[in-house]
Structure 1
Amino acid sequence: MPRKEPDPIDLLVGRNIRILRMKQGMSQETLANALSLTFQQVQKYEKGTNRVGSGRLHKIAGILKVSIATLFEGADAKADSARSSLDLLADPHALRVVQAMSEITDSRMRRSIVDLVEQIAAGAALGGVKPRSEDGIG
């Protein structure tokens, strides 16, 4: 029997849970403990592998101090670009960049950083920048 793909709404809710959890600096284990679950179950929710029941959604929203509607944010998005931007925030590195940028008050400095990142991205797109591995080798 072929494996069933996760429902797009389950993926969206899971992504939003991950973004909001990471934004607060909360680990999967901390959220899991607050829900009396294993961190593996939280991982399954965040990946959209397992659906989050309504009662548990209510608890998660309370723990993360957001409305339940916030967990469904982006469900009505028509453009794929809006979704891909939010998906990027689920990446811990991207979230760190956004958080660091929010601390920079000098608009010229912020613009310089954006220019630098765009130049790096353009170089990578042309094959000019080799991505580093997670361990710093290569």
Structure 2
Amino acid sequence: MGNEIDVHLGKRLRRRRRLLGLTQQQLAGACGVRFQQIQKYECGANRISAARLWQLSEALEVPVAYFYDGLSAAAQERAAECESGGEVLASKETMDLIRAYYQLGERPRRRLLDLAKSLNGDVEHG
């Protein structure tokens, strides 16, 4: 569920930034980060901390709650799609996979995650 929230916050961030006509570089400068960090926030790749969310809300002239608008509907939709999610997480195969994943170093983990995402994309689009 965390990733869904990160993606939602990122979409709201991008929408507001564009509405104000700001570049990622300009917003990054206002928050004291590099524009690449804004890119990662906007696509949901990086989680936005509470302090950073506050800075972004100030720079974009919106209340922090703006970023969460519409989230409950999206969260409910996601929950309906994954009703059996608890069963999947409880399976032995899933637990074995998680343990093996975290025994890898950071770089192999990242490569494995990228591979899994690319395979998922092939299934969804092909």
Under a length normalisation based on structure 1, what TM-score does the superposition of the two structures give?
Answer: 0.52
- Which residue is equivalent to 1:83? none
Mapped partners of 1:75, 1:51: distance in 2 = 15
Q: Deviations over 1:36-68 (max 9, x none)?
A: 111111000000000000000001001101010
Pick from 46, 52, 66: which aligns with 2:48?
A: 52
Note if 1:64 corresponds to 2:65. Answer: no
- Verify the 8 A CA contact 1:58 1:68 in the aligned structure 2: yes
Question: What letter corresponds to residue 33 of structure 2 in structure 1?
Answer: L
Identity across the alignment (%): 36
- Which residue is equivalent to 1:24? 20
- Verify the 8 A CA contact 1:11 1:48 in the aligned structure 2: yes
1:2-13 alignment to 2 at 5 Å?
7-13=3-9
Q: Deviations over 1:57-88 (max 9, x none)?
A: 001001101010001111011586xxxxxxxx
1:1-138 alignment to 2 at 5 Å?
7-77=3-73
Mapped partners of 2:72, 2:27: distance in 1 = 27
Task: Return the structure number with greater helix share.
Answer: 2
The number of residue pairs the alignment matches comes to 76
Root-mean-square deviation (CA, aligned residues, Å) is 1.8
Question: What letter corresponds to residue 13 of structure 1 in structure 2?
Answer: L
SS in 1 for 2:72: coil
User: 1:11 Cα shift?
Assistant: 0.2
For structure 2, list consecutive stretches of 5 or more residues without a partner in the other structure.
Answer: 78-126
Mapped partners of 2:24, 2:59: distance in 1 = 12
Mapped partners of 2:39, 2:29: distance in 1 = 13
Under a length normalisation based on structure 2, what TM-score does the superposition of the two structures give?
Answer: 0.57
Hey, which bits of structure 1, 4+ residues long, moved more than 4 A? none
Mapped partners of 1:56, 1:28: distance in 2 = 15
User: 1:6 Cα shift?
Assistant: 6.7
- Verify the 8 A CA contact 1:35 1:59 in the aligned structure 2: yes
SS in 2 for 1:25: coil
For structure 1, list consecutive stretches of 5 or more residues without a partner in the other structure.
Answer: 81-138
User: 1:10 Cα shift?
Assistant: 0.3
Question: What letter corresponds to residue 20 of structure 2 in structure 1?
Answer: Q
